């Protein structure tokens, strides 16, 4: 029993000693931290000056060209391909025959349908004459007319089937890919793909713009377009679509239609730039660097420096102009705003300006 009491006492003494040492170390560390904080109380920042200047209101947006029409079309009927009359790279027009399908049975059926129609037509003519003289009844004449109508319908369907043996281009454009060769068997279900046709006489360039930029755009506006591979050429475009709702990035898709040149230099998939406005569209505006805003432009908060102290100010931001932002209210020309170092700042902190 005595040994147990001694052991407990030793444990208690050891615990008190350890606790004393930990508290002493904590006090020393806090003291050191306070000394370091005192030595480094000023936060290093970079600054810029608020000023009113002539600002170019034109802006650019980038995207990829897409064809005005693009179609992968398939066989409507099954059968064996006899001949393919177009190859990849060929320009084809609407109604041009691109391939023929074996039509022996179809042609025979069409001939039979033609013969049946002629017989039904002759029969009806005879019955019609006989009815006038009382040789046949009205019911017999009606039956002859019904037979003629059915024969005519069968002939039309037979002619459609004959036409289906010649597959024709549904749109103008270039054959971008060919999927079949002579001897290929076309299936009805699922339908066999035949050709990809791409129309690049006109193209679409889809770009995204922010809310301040979209406010200045209207349907039908003319836009100068350049392609990265043709830096010295300018193409004329027209705005044909402006999204009524922003996307997930709070940007608005804008679609521009461009008429290709005579050589069809623009290809679908190329990288293009839309140049909205021009260098002549300038306006005298009060601006600050975009990175002066705390977090993002939508926060409308900026740190200014007054007597080496950071002061957080609420401002009213206007248009985003590249790497600058228009200031409508809240700042005056000559005020100094912090552009880097805000992450470490709180309102009232002392700052050290890095030149």
What CATH number did the domain enclosing 312 receive?
A: 2.40.420.20
The predicted structure's pLDDT at residue 37: 44
Chain centre distance of CA 279? 28
Q: Does residue 63 sit in the same domain as residue 207?
A: yes
Nearest by Cα to 51 from 284, 283, 286: 286
- Taking 70 as the pLDDT cut, the residues of the chain under it are 1-41, 103-110, 158-164, 188-189, 278-281
The predicted structure's pLDDT at residue 242: 95
The predicted structure's pLDDT at residue 94: 92
Q: Does residue 153 sit in the same domain as residue 296?
A: no
What total number of domains does the chain contain? 3
In degrees and rounded to multiples of 5, residue 143 shows phi and psi of -65, -40
The predicted structure's pLDDT at residue 27: 57
Q: Does residue 207 sit in the same domain as residue 63?
A: yes
The predicted structure's pLDDT at residue 148: 82
In a domain, 6, yes or no: no
In a domain, 337, yes or no: yes
DSSP H helices, 168-222, are: 211-214
Bridge-based pairing state of the strands 282-289 and 230-242:
unpaired
The predicted structure's pLDDT at residue 109: 66
CA distance 134 to 128: 10
Q: What is the pLDDT of residues 36-50, one digit of tens each?
A: 344 446 899 999 999
The predicted structure's pLDDT at residue 20: 59
Domain boundary (276, 311, 345) is at 276
Q: Is the pTM value of this prediction over 0.75?
A: no
In a domain, 31, yes or no: no
In a domain, 79, yes or no: no
In a domain, 2, yes or no: no
In a domain, 298, yes or no: yes
The predicted structure's pLDDT at residue 35: 43
CA distance 72 to 194: 7
In a domain, 170, yes or no: no
Q: 125 is in which domain, residue-wise?
A: 104-163
What angle (nearest 5°) sits at the alpha carbon of residue 68, between those of residues 224 and 263? 65
């Amino acid at each position: 029993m005595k040994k147990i009491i001694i052991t407990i006492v030793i444990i208690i003494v050891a615990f008190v000693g350890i606790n004393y040492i930990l508290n002493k170390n904590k006090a020393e560390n806090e003291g050191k931290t306070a000394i370091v904080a005192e030595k480094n109380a000023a936060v290093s920042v970079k600054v810029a000056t608020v000023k009113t200047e002539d600002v170019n209101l034109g802006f650019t947006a980038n995207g990829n060209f897409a064809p005005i029409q693009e179609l992968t079309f398939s066989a409507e009927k099954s059968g064996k391909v006899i001949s393919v009359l177009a190859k990849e790279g060929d320009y084809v027009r609407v109604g041009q025959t691109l391939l023929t399908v074996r039509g022996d049975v179809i042609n025979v059926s069409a001939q039979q349908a033609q013969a049946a129609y002629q017989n039904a037509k002759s029969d009806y003519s005879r019955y019609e004459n006989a009815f006038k003289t009382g040789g046949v009844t009205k019911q017999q004449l009606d039956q002859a007319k019904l037979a003629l109508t059915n024969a005519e319908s069968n002939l039309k369907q037979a002619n459609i089937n004959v036409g289906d043996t010649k597959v024709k281009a549904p749109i103008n454009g270039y054959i971008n890919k060919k999927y079949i060769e002579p001897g290929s068997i076309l299936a009805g279900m699922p339908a066999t793909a035949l050709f990809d046709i791409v129309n690049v006489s006109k193209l679409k360039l889809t770009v995204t713009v922010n809310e301040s930029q979209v406010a200045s755009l209207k349907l039908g506006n003319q836009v100068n377009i350049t392609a990265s591979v043709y830096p010295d050429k300018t193409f004329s475009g027209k705005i044909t679509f402006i999204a009524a709702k922003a996307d997930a990035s709070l940007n608005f898709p804008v679609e521009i239609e461009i008429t290709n040149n005579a050589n069809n230099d623009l290809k679908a998939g190329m990288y293009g730039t839309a140049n909205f406005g021009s260098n002549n569209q300038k306006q005298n505006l009060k601006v600050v660097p975009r990175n002066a805003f705390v977090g993002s432009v939508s926060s409308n908060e900026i740190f200014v420096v007054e007597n080496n102290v950071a002061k957080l100010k609420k401002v009213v931001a206007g248009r985003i102009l590249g790497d600058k932002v228009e200031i409508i209210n809240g700042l005056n020309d000559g005020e100094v705003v912090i552009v880097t170092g805000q992450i470490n700042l709180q309102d009232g902190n002392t700052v050290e300006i890095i030149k």
